[in-house]
Amino acid sequence: MSVKKSMRSALVLAFLLFVGSISAQTVKVNVKDSQGEPIIGASVVEKDTKNGGVTDFDGNFTIKLTANKPVVVSYIGMKTKTIDAKGKSELSVVLEDDNTQLEEVVAIGYGTVRKKDLTGAVSQVNSKQIENIPVSNVSEALTGKMAGVNITTTEGSPDADVKIRVRGGGSLSQDNSPLYIVDGFEVSSISDIAPSEIETIDVLKDASSTAIYGARGANGVVIVTTKSGKEGDVQVNLNASIGWKSITKELEVLNPYEYARYQYELNSNGNSPAKVNSTANNYGNWSDLDIWRSVEGADFQDETFGRTGVQRQYNASVSGGSKDFKYSVSYAHNDENSIMERSGYRKDNINAKINTKLSKWLTFDFQARLANQRIDGLNGGTDTNESNASNSIVYNSLIYQPIQELSAMDEDEESSSATRRSPSERLRNTYKMQKRFRQDYNASLTWKPFKGWTMKTQFSYNWRFNNTDQVWATRAVSNSSYGYNGAPQAYFLEQQYKGFTNSNTVTYDNKKLFGGRDAINVMVGQEWKSTKQTDRSQVLVSYPTSFTTDQVLANVAAGIPYQNSSFIHEDDNMLSFFGRINYTMMDKYLLTFTLREDGSSKFGKGNRWGLFPSLALAWRMSDEKFLSGVNWLDNLKLRFSIGTAGNNRIPSGSLFTTYKMADATGKHPGFNEKSAEMFEHATLLYNPDLKWETTTTRNIGIDYGFFRGRLNGSIDFYWNTTKDLLMKATVPSSTGYTQQYQNFGKTSNRGIEFTLNYAAIDKKNFKLNANFNISYNKNKIDELPGGATYQTSSWGGSRVNKYTGDFYLEEGGRLGEVWGYQSAGFYTVARYDAQGNYLGGDLVLNNRNQWELAPEAARNNSSSLFGGLYPGTAKVECDANGNPIYQRLGNTIPTTTGGFGIDGQWKTKYGVFDYTVFFNYSLGNKIVNATKLGASFFAGSQKNYNVMNDYNLDNRYTWVDPNTGLNLGRPSAETVAEYGGAQGLMDRLNAMNTNASVWNPAANSTMVVVSDALENANFLRLQNVTIGYSLPKAWIKKFYANNVRIYFTGYNLLCFTKYKGYDPEVDTSSKNNPMTPGVDYAAYPKSRSYVMGINLTF
């Protein structure tokens, strides 16, 4: 909008200087748009002459007709009108919006195409949709907006992984993220691009579109085009916003009193009537436990995540240019304090672009993008020196004891109070700073030697530094993978990447084939690409124990250098040849044929080259004669495509056994008490026969537009199959390895995507647009030679018994199938009537004071999974022999996702209000609520940890007799005597637990994945509400401003879900193993945010 306006002003000014004499027939032309708003700067020209000018602020221009020809009124983005003005002195012209949907240009790789001529499945988001809503991360702006593009923000931390999946993704064990192309060049992530810089984002979904990227396009391609300068006056944009973030919810754990009561079930205090009231008890003697009711206790979730984060964004851009020289420079700054103490980030981006015409035939483009990021603080899960996630600060904020036991003496290492540190304390003792600096330089030369021929050479160079500094002060060093526990340590990592890409294309374009009936566009090209990476790291240990993290940073030399290491990665090189033919017949029949051959340095000699062809056809039915009479139909296009794309995402060193120096986390031998260097092989077994993974995509789609474009959208059906999967296959550990990359198996994704845009109200003063998209995807594992395998998400470290694995892959199955045990309550005490007849229940106390199954009770061996046989031990579904049945519990991958929303504006004489409301949703999956499961039992000997509030006294099976404080679950001989024998004790346990509905966490020392932990993860999220207000033009004219808009936005305002964890959109384990999606363990909680800001355009 602003561009148009400024151009208008410029042209008006130009015109004013140009006003000539008026003679002959004079016609006053008034130009308005369909809403009746005057169009400023519309061109009014006498046909076939140079006589004419542009309209003024009120949409008026008076033209003096000299040649007696009709008047041509035109304006960018609107349909040109030619009007006979003979004999008229005034002319009122209403210009209609050109059907922009169809004229919009879409990036398709090494070129663009009008949306109208598109043969493939492409989703687009443009700057309009992004610029009104301030977001800190591009991916955030895309969530739910595009059918078939599923975006999951895996957790709430500032550097959280954003998982983008286009049509499900075909690989099982490989990264399924799409290829990212920014301004023509591949980048590894789009998170370092300032959202304000983006012009459009196109997502290529089917092979017809992605095949031009060949090997790398199998998982879709996200093409980001940044803003460029436009011809016209200098335009200045300024934006500023400030926002506030806070945690969406806290999880409920036991309160101090409940916690003390629970701890009583764990310790042996209640074993003897004599000791129950001894003062040596950890949380006080039994009769005094009530004092904990008045104790508030620590809320570590609040201490860790409770703060209100503040985010600020500023950006400024200057652009403009002449016909031969265009420029654009923008700067963006974002900073944020996140909700977790000591975490936040800062981002500065500069993007400069120039485009200059060196001669009539030669154009030169240059772009520089600089991004400087600083990320403070920890993410969820483990952080470098922690041995597993159950030790993480995030997780401990939930389960750490809310109150201190009275005595700190304990035999157990894990629960010895000296090694336990509260999450807040650990947080204060941890420093983590990631600095990422990235520079990208692109230059291209376009040469148009003859009509229709374009030769283009593009060169890109990028240079990245990723540095990570971590320091742990004494209290955060108790479980370090480097050793040297108990004294501060530091870790510094420097990573450097350098890459270049050179691509050369020749394009032949002829729109006048067969006398203008057909058009052809042929492009052939070649590209080579190389990436180098060097890592260097340092570990220093044994700083003076009194040192704070700041002191360590200030005096790095005070530590003992433990290990320095470096690694020069092999160059990742690729050489490609490609070509594309677009043929348009009679403007109705479209054909695209694409062929690409890629050679990758990642594969061995025989398997290096992959050939990826694709073919697409489209039929613009609405242009057929038989439909030309249908008034309400203005666009109907049928598309069909088939093609292949590849995938080579395997790490280096997968082809041969190679050795490299071990790093600091390796355990080095201490010959003569000196750490000796070691050479180690790759962790995966090599495989010289690895080859390309290939995805074949078939797509049928319809683009439609009805009622003059008021209702439009598309529907697509696809069927993708991926074969020769690059799988990280499990091999028996007796090989000395646990996994190997192999090509095997076949998966498929079938799905439907539907999008609908509806301009529901299109009045002059009020507009309401509604949009809706839905996609359904079903993944299937078609072939899996070698048989089914279990995968373990290893979420609980040592807390949870991994059994065989919690995810199961099998031929005919799907990714994300969770296996485990079906919960079936808990063991109870057997009941007998006075005659000794069995009335139900499971256990009886034998004469050794141990529990055993009553002879009458059904056989049930569940207790073998949970550690011990007690009343209150969890039970699972068992077979006829009483053995637990390991079975399928659910799937963690949503089948249906999408979004819907409304937006529009309301014009008043006091200015324009605009509004956006957007929801996104996800259906059809479950999430493993491992956070809850991990806090529902006592792991091994880990006393003094809290559990979820689900296990409070109202719900759980309890052992401790509220009257006496004696522990009846693990009774001593004295306790049994106290109750007049086993029967008395059993009766008492039954009486105490008539209302018990869940197991006793104290009875379960190990845990497996049970159905209780699988929760429905369907959700509907009110993702965004924005209200904007633009000041009336009349007011702001005085300040030479074109537009002043203030706005207010809320993010993640509501989430309707049955899921009981922090947020149902979560995925903490697939970072390490993509075959274990949908686990929620120690995730950094998500936040809700409110932002207000201002946009200024001059």
Q: Is 629 exposed, middle or buried (0-12, 13-18, 19+ CB in 10 A)?
A: exposed
Taking CB under 8 A as the binding criterion, the range among 335-343, 433-441, 674-682, 754-762 that sits at the site for other proteins is 674-682
**Shortest Å, Cβ 288 to other proteins:** 24
| Residues 542-571 contacting other proteins, CB under 8 A | 542, 544-545, 566-571
By CB under 8 A, the residues from 154 to 173 that bind other proteins are none
Listed ranges 150-158, 794-802, 822-830, 1013-1021: which one lies at the site for other proteins (CB under 8 A): 794-802
Residue 914's CB is within 10 A of a number of other CB atoms, namely: 18
Beta-bridge partner residues of 224: 182, 201
Tell me, residue by residue from 682 to 721, as one string, x for binding to other proteins by CB under 8 A and - for no binding.
---xxxxx--------------------------------
Q: What is the Cα Rg of the chain in Å?
A: 34
Query: Does residue 673 interact with other proteins by CB under 8 A?
Result: yes
Residue 541 lies near other proteins (rule: CB under 8 A): yes
- CB of residue 561 vs other proteins: minimum separation in angstroms? 13
What residues between 868 and 887 interact with other proteins by CB under 8 A?
A: 868-869
661 binds other proteins (CB under 8 A): yes
Query: Could you say which of 500, 803, 900, 913 contacts other proteins (CB under 8 A)?
Result: 803
Minimum separation from the CB atom of position 272 to other proteins (A): 9
Q: Which of 117, 122, 116, 118 has the alpha carbon at shortest distance from 167?
A: 122
Regarding 1039 and contact with other proteins (CB under 8 A), the answer is no
SS (H, E, C) 110-166: CCEEEHHHCCCCEEEEEHHHHHCCCCCCHHHHHCCCCCCEEEEECCCCCCCCEEEEE
Query: Closest distance between other proteins and the C-beta of residue 294, in Å?
Result: 30
Note whether 991 binds other proteins by CB under 8 A. Answer: no
Does residue 397 contact residue 423 with C-beta atoms inside 8 Å? yes
Judged by CB under 8 A, the stretch of 301-309, 763-771, 864-872, 948-956 that binds other proteins is: 864-872
Smallest Cα–Cα separation from 945: which of 882, 1007, 858, 1030? 1007
**Between 579 and 1064, whose beta carbon lies closer to other proteins?**
579
> CB under 8 Å to 17, separation ≥6 — which residues?
none
Q: Of 123, 108, 169, 201, which Cα lies nearest the Cα of 616? A: 108
Neighbours of 674 (CB within 10 A): 8
Region for residue 981 given its phi and psi (left: phi exceeds 0; alpha: psi -120 to 50; beta: otherwise): left
Q: Which stretch binds other proteins (CB under 8 A): 76-84, 411-419, 642-650, 1065-1073?
A: 411-419
With H, G, I as helix, E, B as strand and everything else as coil, classify residue 550: helix
Tell which positions 749-788 bind other proteins, by CB under 8 A: 786-787
Three-state SS letters, 58-93: CCEEEEEECCCCCEEEECCCECCEEECCCCCCEEEE
356 interacts with other proteins by CB under 8 A: no
672 part of the interface to other proteins, by CB under 8 A: yes
Q: Are 207 and 697 in contact (CB under 8 A)?
A: yes
For residue 313, what are the β-bridge partners?
241, 334
With respect to other proteins, which residue has the nearer C-beta, 223 or 541? Answer: 541
User: And the tokens for 194?
Assistant: 């300032």
Closer to other proteins by CB, 481 or 905: give it: 481
Single residue of 580, 970, 1045, 1088 touching other proteins by CB under 8 A: 970
Q: How far is the CB of 362 from other proteins (least distance, A)?
A: 6
Residues 995-1014 that bind other proteins (CB under 8 A): 1005-1006
Instruction: Compute the distance between CA of residue 927 and CA of residue 1062 in angstroms, rounded to an integer.
Output: 12
Closest C-alpha among 742, 561, 581, 578 to residue 655: 742
- Provide the minimum distance between the beta carbon of 53 and other proteins in the complex, in angstroms, as a whole number: 37
Beta carbon nearer to other proteins, 671 or 1040: 671
- Residue 425 CB, nearest distance to other proteins (Å)? 11
- Spatial neighbors of 673 by CB under 8 A, at least 6 apart, are none
User: Interaction with other proteins in 101-140: which residues (CB under 8 A)?
Assistant: none
Q: How far apart are CA 622 and CA 638, in angstroms?
A: 10
Looking at 354, 678, 759, 923, which residue binds other proteins (CB under 8 A)? Answer: 678
Q: Under rule CB under 8 A, which residues in 617-656 are in contact with other proteins?
A: 652-653, 656
CB of 788 to other proteins, least distance (A): 9
Q: How is residue 1002 annotated by DSSP?
A: G
Q: How far is the CB of 1015 from other proteins (least distance, A)?
A: 24
**Which one of 89, 359, 555, 983 is in contact with other proteins (CB under 8 A)?**
359
Reduce the DSSP state of residue 910 to 3 states and report it.
Answer: coil
| Closest to 315 (Cα-Cα) out of 932, 1038, 1093 | 1093
The span of 24-32, 130-138, 168-176, 664-672 binding other proteins (CB under 8 A) equals: 664-672
Contact between 492 and other proteins by CB under 8 A: the answer reads no
Could you tell me the CA-to-CA distances from 1078 to 153, 206, 798, 890, 929 in Å, in that order? 12, 26, 20, 11, 9
Query: Least CB distance from residue 542 to other proteins, whole Å?
Result: 7
Size of the residue set binding other proteins (CB under 8 A): 115
Q: Which of residues 584-613 bind other proteins (CB under 8 A)?
A: 599-601, 608
469-488 binders of other proteins (CB under 8 A): 474-475, 477-479, 482-487
Q: Where in 809-848 is the site for other proteins (CB under 8 A)?
A: 848
Check if the beta carbon of residue 254 is closer than 8 Å to that of residue 954: no
Provide φ and ψ at 872, rounded to 5°. Answer: 100, -10
Among 155, 469, 572, 978, binds other proteins (CB under 8 A): 572
**Which of 772, 1052, 1026, 1017 minimizes the C-alpha distance to 899?**
772
| Of 295, 318, 352, 362, the one binding other proteins by CB under 8 A | 362
Q: Which residue lies nearer to other proteins by CB, 86 or 667?
A: 667
Residue choice 16, 586, 627, 676 for contact with other proteins (CB under 8 A): 676
Helix (H) or strand (E) holding 8: helix 2-18
- In degrees rounded to 5, what are phi and psi of residue 144? 80, -5
1038 alpha carbon, distance to own chain's centre: 44
Place of tokens 């700041």: 550
Q: Show contacts with other proteins in window 448-467 (CB under 8 A).
A: 449, 455, 457
Q: Is 734 in the site for other proteins (CB under 8 A)?
A: yes
| Residue of 34, 92, 419, 765 interacting with other proteins (CB under 8 A) | 419
Q: Which is nearer to other proteins, 89 or 566 (CB)?
A: 566
Q: How many residues can be counted in the chain?
A: 1098
